[in-house]
């Protein structure tokens, strides 16, 4: 049975009421319309948890089994809902266990507010029990962090935290609150949301002259190409982007975090960029005459060798973060601003066109990839199942309407290549950091963020063992998450590299697994394991139709590789089909 939050009449404390710092924290969350908090209690944050006892009808708290699970769950919640994810953790190891998730959220621009407890202010710097300098530890992996030692600061600091986390290019914020500040009573003057901070400009000023220059380049182009990333989703600009694509007639391809911003089956959607992306988008990057980048950062997994990347093209780069423009790829025209605002201005100035011969070249490459790679992956004639065919059957059963949460490895690349999506915010994965162990807790959070949607976590046999304890969170909350383990009995992506580039010297990639079905059963979760093709579709149907969480293990080929592939150190034109 899934956890249900019951609406209660909100009672706001009157201005001038005496509150504790802990109560002020919770009042801030309610004012920011937070409905779900992921966390784990401990000594230094105990006053906040004590206050939460009286607020539990207004704030749903999800007790995770590890703080890393808590922050990944908050990421999944933020990615599926578009809201700010919130995490509680105690001091010392509780706070340091958040660091991986903070780094993941920072590089993937996920809005989070993390609240950590800290030892009493007079003990700071004394190496007190469970004291760590969380501010200096987390400074490189947060958009902003701050330590509160006086309760009076709490309303203003948390207002800033939410504003910074969600505005401009989103990111994680950490607020560390000493125990004395949590306990301290003060004259509460109410909560005022923040909408401005001096010296902080979340959106750069749009410069019309650059939009005009970009439009001229696009209108004169003969072989234009659009590459788009998560900035389209974060800016809630999917409609604006689709209008731009359809008026311009320009073929487009996505980074893995941009996946689902444009429906998979859209006729101008040419597929995935990057190391394991589609053949056409990679090769055509080095053939286009104008490259239009929207809300993406030219990550090395997308560009391959920078000195051989799109050197023939004039580059137009639209981004909300000015620091990304010219960082990796020199732009001919840099268009600063939120793409929800800049895309309509650009669309207005461009000519309505079609490029049938240019688009046909993409389709020819797609057909070649289909013949040499995709058909055998989705319809293998081998005895062993492939990851691709599992995705094919899953697509047929979900009709592209599910949220797919992937871990990191071969299964991630296969899922991103072959999963079908009809709506935005459907692909949740660890992109920039590549965090194994991400998927299970992120899927829990994604389901809380979008309770009406089917959520399927696709995980490898390596990643599942990193955060398998979060099955306990599923057990306790009754949340309905479908867990699909693709088990190739290897750390598959590392093994693939060792096979291709290290003479098959398989060094410590042969990983043993427990009986996942029995483990799930120990947590009260039904499950099954299949390896026969005839049983695959019925097993997936059972998983999806089951009332509640379900774990399905599918045994796949041990040494299957993910292709195409751009080898490290090569240009995107050197992509290998086999």
- Is the residue at 139 inside a domain? yes
Asked if 390 and 358 sit in the same domain, the reply is no
Residue 323: CATH number of its domain = 3.40.50.1220
Mean pLDDT of 529-556: 98
Q: What percent of the chain has pLDDT over 70?
A: 97
User: How high is the pLDDT of residue 13?
Assistant: 66
User: How high is the pLDDT of residue 2?
Assistant: 40
- Which of the residues are catalytic? 67, 129-130, 179, 493
Going 191 to 196 to 201 to 206, the CA torsion angle's sign is positive
Would you say 488 and 578 are in contact if contact means Cβ atoms under 8 Å apart?
no
Measured CA angle at 68 (ends 408, 72), to 5 deg: 55
User: How high is the pLDDT of residue 559?
Assistant: 93
Residue 93: CATH number of its domain = 3.40.50.970
| Domain count within the chain | 3
Quick: pLDDT tens for 63-97: 999 999 999 999 999 999 999 999 999 999 999 99
Q: Alpha-carbon distance 507 to 509, whole Å?
A: 6
Res. 14 pLDDT band, cuts 50 70 90: low
Mean pLDDT of 332-341: 97
Kindly tell me if the per-residue pLDDT of 365 is higher than 60: yes
User: How high is the pLDDT of residue 568?
Assistant: 86
Q: Which helix (H) or strand (E) holds 18?
A: strand 17-20
Among 188, 219, 244, the domain-final residue is: 188
Q: For all residues of the chain together, what is the average pLDDT?
A: 95
- Is the residue at 4 inside a domain? no
Quick: pLDDT tens for 371-408: 999 999 999 999 999 999 999 999 999 999 999 999 99
Asked if 396 and 345 sit in the same domain, the reply is no
Asked if 308 and 226 sit in the same domain, the reply is yes
Asked if 237 and 148 sit in the same domain, the reply is no
Reading the block at residue 131, the tokens are: 């004291």
User: How high is the pLDDT of residue 311?
Assistant: 96
Q: Alpha-carbon distance 203 to 237, whole Å?
A: 15
Quick: pLDDT tens for 235-253: 999 999 999 999 999 999 9
Asked if 462 and 340 sit in the same domain, the reply is no
- Is the residue at 277 inside a domain? yes
Asked if 157 and 214 sit in the same domain, the reply is no
- Is the residue at 267 inside a domain? yes
Domain span at 504: 379-555
- Is the residue at 122 inside a domain? yes
User: How high is the pLDDT of residue 15?
Assistant: 66
* pTM of the entire predicted model: 0.95
Asked if 329 and 388 sit in the same domain, the reply is no
Asked if 316 and 443 sit in the same domain, the reply is no
Mean pLDDT check: name the lowest of 158-167, 175-184, 328-337, 562-571: 562-571
Asked if 550 and 503 sit in the same domain, the reply is yes
Span between the terminal Cα atoms of the chain, in Å: 46
Mean pLDDT check: name the lowest of 14-18, 120-124, 319-323, 396-400: 14-18
Asked if 169 and 227 sit in the same domain, the reply is no
- Is the residue at 203 inside a domain? no
Only one residue has tokens 């079609």, namely 354
Compute how many other C-beta atoms are within 10 angstroms of the C-beta atom of residue 327.
14
User: How high is the pLDDT of residue 4?
Assistant: 39
Asked if 129 and 25 sit in the same domain, the reply is yes
- Is the residue at 573 inside a domain? no
Q: Alpha-carbon distance 561 to 199, whole Å?
A: 49
Mean pLDDT of 464-483: 98
Res. 518 pLDDT band, cuts 50 70 90: very high
Res. 284 pLDDT band, cuts 50 70 90: very high
User: How high is the pLDDT of residue 271?
Assistant: 96
- Is the residue at 1 inside a domain? no
User: How high is the pLDDT of residue 227?
Assistant: 98
Kindly tell me if the per-residue pLDDT of 3 is higher than 80: no
Q: Alpha-carbon distance 121 to 483, whole Å?
A: 44
Among 137, 157, 188, the domain-final residue is: 188
Reading the block at residue 92, the tokens are: 């010392």
Asked if 478 and 523 sit in the same domain, the reply is yes
| DSSP-based three-state secondary structure for 138 | helix
Kindly tell me if the per-residue pLDDT of 10 is higher than 50: no
Q: Where are the extended beta strands (E) located within 328-448?
A: 333-336, 403-406, 427-429
Q: What percent of the chain has pLDDT over 90?
A: 96
Among 362, 393, 426, the domain-final residue is: 362
């Amino acid at each position: 049975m899934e956890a249900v939050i019951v609406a209660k009449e909100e009672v706001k404390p009157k201005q001038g009421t005496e509150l504790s710092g802990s109560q002020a924290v919770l009042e801030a969350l309610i004012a920011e319309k937070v409905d779900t908090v992921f966390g784990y209690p401990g000594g230094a944050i105990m006053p906040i948890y004590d206050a939460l006892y009286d607020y539990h009808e207004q704030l749903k708290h999800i007790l995770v089994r590890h703080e890393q699970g808590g922050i990944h769950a908050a990421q999944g919640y933020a990615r599926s809902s578009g809201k700010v994810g919130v995490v509680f953790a105690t001091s010392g190891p509780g706070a340091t266990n958040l660091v991986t998730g903070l780094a993941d959220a920072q590089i993937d621009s996920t809005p989070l507010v993390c609240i950590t407890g800290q030892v009493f202010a007079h003990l700071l710097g004394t190496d007190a029990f469970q004291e760590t300098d969380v501010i200096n530890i987390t400074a490189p992996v947060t958009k902003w962090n701050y330590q509160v030692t006086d309760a009076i600061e709490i309303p203003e600091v948390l207002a800033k935290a939410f504003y910074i986390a969600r505005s401009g290019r989103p990111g994680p914020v950490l607020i560390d609150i000493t125990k004395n500040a949590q306990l301290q009573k003060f004259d509460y003057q109410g909560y005022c949301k923040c909408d401005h901070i001096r010296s902080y400009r979340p959106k750069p000023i749009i410069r019309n002259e650059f939009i005009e220059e970009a439009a001229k380049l696009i209108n004169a182009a003969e072989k234009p190409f659009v590459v788009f990333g998560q900035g389209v989703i974060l800016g809630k600009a999917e409609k604006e982007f689709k209008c731009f694509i359809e008026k311009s007639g320009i073929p487009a391809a996505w980074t893995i975090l941009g996946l689902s911003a444009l429906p998979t089956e859209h006729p101008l959607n040419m597929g995935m960029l990057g190391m394991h992306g589609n053949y056409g988008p990679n090769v055509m990057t080095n053939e286009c005459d104008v490259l239009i980048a929207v809300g993406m950062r030219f990550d090395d997994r997308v560009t391959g060798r920078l000195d051989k990347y799109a050197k023939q093209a004039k580059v137009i780069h639209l981004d909300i973060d000015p620091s990304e423009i010219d960082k990796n790829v020199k732009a001919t025209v840099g268009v600063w601003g939120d793409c929800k605002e800049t895309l309509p201005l650009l669309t207005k100035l461009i000519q309505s066109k079609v490029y049938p011969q240019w688009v046909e070249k993409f389709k020819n490459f797609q057909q070649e990839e289909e013949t040499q790679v995709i058909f055998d992956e989705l319809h293998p004639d081998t005895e062993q199942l492939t990851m691709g065919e599992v995705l094919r059957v899953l697509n047929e059963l979900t009709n592209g309407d599910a949220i797919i949460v992937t871990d990191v490895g071969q299964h991630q690349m296969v899922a991103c290549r072959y999963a079908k999506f009809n709506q935005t915010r459907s692909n949740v994965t660890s992109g920039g950091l590549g965090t194994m162990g991400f998927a299970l807790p992120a899927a829990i959070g994604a389901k809380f963020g979008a309770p009406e949607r089917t959520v399927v976590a696709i995980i490898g046999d390596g990643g599942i063992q990193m955060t398998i304890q979060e099955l306990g969170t599923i057990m306790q909350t009754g949340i309905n998450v479908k867990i699909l383990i693709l088990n190739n009995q290897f750390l598959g992506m590392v093994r693939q590299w060792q096979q291709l580039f290290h003479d098959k010297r398989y060094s410590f990639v042969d990983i043993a697994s427990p009986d996942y079905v029995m483990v799930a059963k120990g947590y009260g979760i039904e499950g099954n394991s299949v390896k026969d093709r005839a049983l695959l579709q019925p097993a997936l149907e059972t998983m999806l139709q089951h009332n509640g969480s379900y774990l399905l293990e599918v045994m796949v080929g041990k040494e299957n590789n993910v292709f195409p592939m751009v080898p490290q150190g090569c240009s995107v034109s050197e992509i290998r089909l086999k």
